DNA sequence: AATGAATGAGTATTCATTCAT
DNA sequence: GATGAATGAATACTCATTCAT
């Protein structure tokens, strides 16, 4: 009974352990032997559940990027307003909270993951998100603001580990800054009429 | 002509080729065989110049992080004013421009580099820089702003590869946003009350 | 036929071949490639059975030093008489007969084996054996006699390869000399007085 | 001046350092790089003085086995008496004292040295010495005694490191035992008439 | 659902040696 | 009398993967 609950959920356990090790040590540095040992099964057992090492990452990606896919789907049927954009940011922040380790893994292993098949998948999703926040003809600085908003949410999570404070508080602070950036990137001039605004004069 | 100028500069050539491959393919995926082949020397020749693979990275780090060390030294003897902070950002942006590929490499291979001896060195430098921009008792959001400013300059460089435009223009845009963030992170209320001045008052 | 009987005994076959090569050519000069080739398996197969090259030696040591361990255990529960000591020598000679090549290997590769983990194990066993033969307060020459008795049994085996004659005869001759040495090292004066016995009379 | 006396004696210094390392760590485990580093010269400098690594050992052998060669020459022109044999043993013991580390090296690296060209040279000298002590038609046990006498002098030196006591005292003890063995190996029955001898009782 | 045994291709690293200067 | 730069061949070891059972 020492290893109870070990019935039929091996696949899941592999994913858990693999994600743990991948994000702790990196993808290349984590060997299947290591994963197998930690699970107290043989390497061959992993191959019963996953065709290749890459397959494990793919399965993680599919499972963990679902919230983001849903976010994209949702956003695409909303009006393209500042409000929507802010909501995208908010929801994205929440999605990251649950899929934290996986995104840390992606962030820290970009080079390793680049030519795995999900490399593209990830990049594509990021670009789609970017497209949801950014107006194509916007100024360069505004584009930077949007990208920064997105990235700060990834990076922030672990870049702020040295900063003391409650993780949830930090997340909120990050969210606030990201929201500001997106707001600034979508100046009123571009938004449906706002009579008083200064800052512009575009016809 | 193919092997001209091969005198005494082998060490340098190794560094160049290695940096190229490391940042293209990742640290772990780049083998010494590959580097040697590209240089048309034997693996053993690499070992004449560098004690280990890690040593190559270390040497790159030492060479390329000098501008940043200098920046830190400079900043530490400046008054702790907003102006200084803005200048730090500006100079950092320039430092990154020349050491671009190396910082891309560091960013994309964090997992791989983490337990190389430079892992710590890099983290430390980042924290020092952060300390230069951020006031310790500042609010969480302001801290986030500072971190984001820093990170956006790293990430920006290659996250904006899909955005069209002149690289130098992009760098300026990134710099602008980062400067804004730092400015916002240092609200006037926190700066030594200065009724009349134009930001001076240092004895 | 060439690959018959190759089922489950690979580990054993590795040990056999390795011991053969180690004692023929020396530990350092024997590469895993060589062992693998002789066995017609890949190097990786060796690593399936043994974690390192050293591990092969360790396993040999454990298997082959068992008779000696048993001898030590046995001797320790015997009375500390001359008779026991003679029996120790006799049994040791027999133990060496079966583990001959391995002890030759140890003897001829002392430098190489010194900082392998068994180096200590071997030395320790020798010291224990020495302690079984020698009385701690005995004279220096008697101590030399005991050590010589022990060593002559190791060295003898292969130092006498140039001497013609049946190996078993040689072993008996070596045993005889070693027994003499131990007997001489334990003069009657030191042994618990035995009034009636012969064997005494030394002034 | 810190490295004074470094003029023209490099060859000698190489030999010293090499012998030190060879006998400490073993022949195979000692690399030319190591020797060069300890001498603070380059590997290439070693090659100015010695054609190969083996050449260093050969030169050591030639220098250090001279006393033994002289001993052999001397012995060969003496009468083949017990007295001569005892003197051979005595002189050999003295020769070993000065060439201690080298003989330790030979003893502990037999496997490594076996197919170096000196391997034969050493073996040959040992056989010659053996021939000087042993009578060809003598009994097997007597042959063993002679071999043991010889070996005990080699082995004794470092096998007795754990035994406490003055090294010179130890050497004398070893010498005494070896002399005894040689004496016993040359029983009166074989020696020029000795009327009274008994010494035996074997049926 | 999983294991035991093995492989092929690769890795970083080390070594004795060479040679033009 | 020695160095700087390099090489060719080797070494121990690791990894993802396969497959019969």
Looking at the predicted structure, is the pLDDT value of residue C6 above 70?
A: no
Per-residue pLDDT at B189: 63
User: Number of structural domains, chain D?
Assistant: 2
D174 and D152 in contact (C-beta within 8 Å)? yes
Per the CB < 8 A criterion, the answer to whether A178 and A93 are in contact is yes
| pLDDT > 90? residue C11 | yes
Residue C193: is its pLDDT beyond 90? no
Residues A37 and A66 in one domain: no
* Separation of first and last alpha carbons in chain B: 62
Q: Give C59 to chain D, closest Cα distance, Å.
A: 20
Statement to judge: residues B90 and B41 lie in one domain: no
Contacts of residue D193, defined as CB under 8 A and 6 or more positions apart, other chains included, come to none
Q: Are residues A123 and A165 in the same domain?
A: yes
CA B176 – CA C130 distance, rounded (Å): 82
Q: State pLDDT tens for residues D84-95.
A: 999 999 999 999
- B192 — pLDDT class (breaks 50, 70, 90): low
Query: Which residues of chain B (40-79) touch nucleic strand E at CB < 7 A?
Result: 43-44, 47, 51-54
| Residue keyed to tokens 């892992």 | B119
Interacting residues of D37 by C-beta distance below 8 A, sequence separation 6+:
none
**Are residues B56 and B10 in contact, defined by beta-carbon separation less than 8 angstroms?**
no
- The answer to whether B27 and B57 are in contact (CB under 8 A) is yes
Q: Does residue D101 lie within any of the structural domains?
A: yes
> What is the CATH number for D46?
1.10.10.60
Highest-confidence segment of A10-19, A98-107, B7-16, D135-144 = A10-19
pLDDT beyond 50 at B201: no
- Neighbouring chains of A at 3+ CB pairs under 8 Å are B
Nearest CA in chain A to B26: A111
pLDDT reported for residue A198: 47
Report d(CA A171, CA A166) in Å as an integer.
9
pLDDT of residue D29: 96
Sole residue written with tokens 């803005």: B86
Hits for CB < 7 Å against strand E across A residues 25-54: 41-45, 47-49
* C77 and C131 together in one domain: yes
Q: Is B107 exposed, middle or buried (0-12, 13-18, 19+ CB in 10 A)?
A: buried
Most trustworthy range by pLDDT among A101-105, B100-104, B118-122, D51-55: D51-55
Residue C13, nucleotide of least CA–C1' distance: E5
A100-156 pLDDT, tens digit per residue, is 888 889 888 989 998 898 888 888 888 999 999 999 889 999 999 999 999 899 888
| Residue-number span of the structural domain to which C17 is assigned | 1-51
Mean pLDDT of D21-25: 94
Residue B73 has pLDDT above 60, yes or no: yes
Residue D201 predicted with pLDDT over 60: no
Q: What are the tokens at D61?
A: 């052998």
Cα first-last separation, chain A: 75
pLDDT at A202 over 80: no
In a domain, C194, yes or no: no
- Quick check: helix, strand or coil at residue A115? coil
**Summary count for chain B: helices (H), strands (E):** 11, 0
Contact A25 B111 (CB under 8 A): yes
Domain boundary among A13, A35, A51: A51
Q: Answer yes or no: do D158 and D81 share one domain.
A: yes
| Residue C195 included in any domain | no
> pLDDT (tens digit, 9 = 90+) per residue, C77-92?
999 999 999 999 999 9
Q: What is the pLDDT of residue C189?
A: 63
D199 within some domain: no
Grade residue D7 by pLDDT with cuts at 50, 70 and 90: low
A10 CB-to-strand E distance under 7 Å: yes
**Do residues A41 and A99 share a domain?**
no
Test mutation, B148, B158, B182, chain A, max A CBs within 10 A: B148
DSSP category for residue C188: G
Judgement on whether residues A45 and A68 belong to the same structural domain of the protein: no
pLDDT for position B2: 43
Residues of chain D with a CB closer than 8 angstroms to some CB in chain C: 23, 25-29, 105, 107-112, 114, 127, 139-141, 143-145, 147-148, 151-152, 155-156, 159-160, 162-163, 165, 169-170, 173-174, 176-177, 180-181, 184
Answer yes or no: is pLDDT of A1 > 80.
no
Q: Note the Cα C6 to chain centre separation in Å.
A: 30
Quick one: pLDDT at residue A57? 95
Chain D residues 36 to 95 whose Cβ lies within 7 Å of strand E are 43-44, 47, 51-54
pLDDT above 90: residue A7: no
Pair A144, A75 in one domain: yes
Nearest alpha-carbon partner for B51 in B117, B107, B99: B117
Residues A10, A93 share a domain: no
**Residue to test with chain D: of C111, C133, C181, most D Cβ within 10 A:** C111
Cβ–Cβ gap D105/C111 under 8 Å = yes
- Mean pLDDT across A76-84: 93
Q: Do both C75 and C143 map to the same domain?
A: yes
Chain C residues within 8 Å of chain D (Cβ atoms): 23, 25-29, 105, 107-112, 114, 127, 139-141, 143-145, 147-148, 151-152, 155-156, 159-160, 162-163, 165, 169-170, 173-174, 176-177, 180-181, 184
* Region A23-38 average pLDDT: 96
User: What is the rounded CA–CA span in Å between residue B181 and residue A197?
Assistant: 22
pTM for the complete prediction? 0.87
User: Given D36, D51, D66, which residue is the final one in a domain?
Assistant: D51
Q: Look at residue A2 and tell me whether its pLDDT is greater than 60.
A: no
- C152·D147 Cβ contact <8 A: yes
- Whether B10 has a pLDDT exceeding 80, the answer reads yes
| Residue A119 falls inside a structural domain | yes
> In angstroms, what CA-CA distances link B187 with A199, B79, B136, B180, B198?
21, 17, 14, 11, 15
**Weakest mean pLDDT among B2-6, B45-49, B168-172:** B2-6
pLDDT at position C87 is 96
- What would the pLDDT profile of C147-180 be if each residue is shown by its tens digit? 999 989 988 777 888 888 888 999 999 999 999 9
Q: Which of C114, C144, C165 sits opposite D173 (nearest CB)?
A: C144
Taking the C-alpha atoms of residue C121 and residue A79, their distance in angstroms, rounded to an integer, is 78
In a domain, A110, yes or no: yes
- Last residue in a domain, options A32, A51, A70: A51
Residue keyed to tokens 């002149």: B166
- Distance in Å from F13's C1' to A33's CA comes to 14
> In the prediction, which pLDDT does C84 show?
95
My answer on whether C40 and C108 are in the same domain is no
Same domain, C168 and C76: yes
Q: Which of D27, D11, D107 shows the shortest CA–CA distance to D59?
A: D11
**What's the confidence (pLDDT) of residue C179?**
96
Say if residue C191's pLDDT is above 60: no
CB contact under 8 A, A111 and B114: no
Contact (CB<8Å) A26/B112: yes
Distance from the Cα of C160 to chain D's closest Cα (Å) equals 8
Mean residue pLDDT of chain B comes to 87
Q: What is the CATH number of the domain that holds A113?
A: 1.10.357
Indicate whether A195 belongs to any domain: no
Token couple for C74: 């046995």
D95 inside domain: yes
For residue B147, give the nearest of B104, B192, B184 by alpha carbon. Answer: B184
Contact between chains at D147 and C156 (C-beta distance less than 8 A): yes
Which residue among B26, B114, B163 sits closest to A143, beta carbon to beta carbon? B163
CA of B45 to C1' of E18 (A): 14
B interface with A, Cβ–Cβ below 8 Å = 23, 25-29, 105, 107-112, 114, 127, 139-141, 143-145, 147-148, 151-152, 155-156, 159-160, 162-163, 165, 169-170, 173-174, 176-177, 180-181, 184
Confidence check: pLDDT of B196 > 80: no
């Amino acid at each position: 009974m020492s290893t109870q609950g070990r019935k039929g959920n091996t696949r899941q356990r592999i994913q858990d352990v693999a994600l743990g090790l991948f994000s702790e040590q990196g993808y290349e540095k984590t060997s299947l032997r290591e994963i197998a040992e930690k699970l107290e099964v043989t390497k061959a057992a992993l191959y019963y559940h996953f065709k290749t090492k890459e397959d494990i990452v793919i399965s993680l990606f599919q499972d963990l990027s679902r919230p983001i896919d849903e976010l994209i789907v949702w956003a695409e049927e909303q009006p393209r307003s500042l409000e929507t954009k802010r909501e995208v940011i908010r929801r994205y922040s929440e999605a990251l909270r649950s899929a934290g380790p996986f995104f840390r893994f992606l962030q820290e292993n970009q080079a390793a993951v680049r030519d795995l098949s999900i490399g593209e998948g990830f990049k594509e999703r990021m670009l789609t998100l970017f497209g949801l926040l950014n107006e194509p003809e916007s100024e360069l600085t505004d584009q930077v603001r949007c990208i920064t908003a997105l990235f700060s949410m990834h990076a922030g999570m672990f870049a702020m580990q040295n900063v003391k404070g409650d993780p949830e508080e930090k997340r909120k602070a990050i969210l606030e800054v990201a929201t500001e950036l997106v707001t600034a990137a979508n100046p009123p001039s571009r938004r449906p009429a706002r009579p008083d605004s200064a800052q512009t004069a575009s016809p």
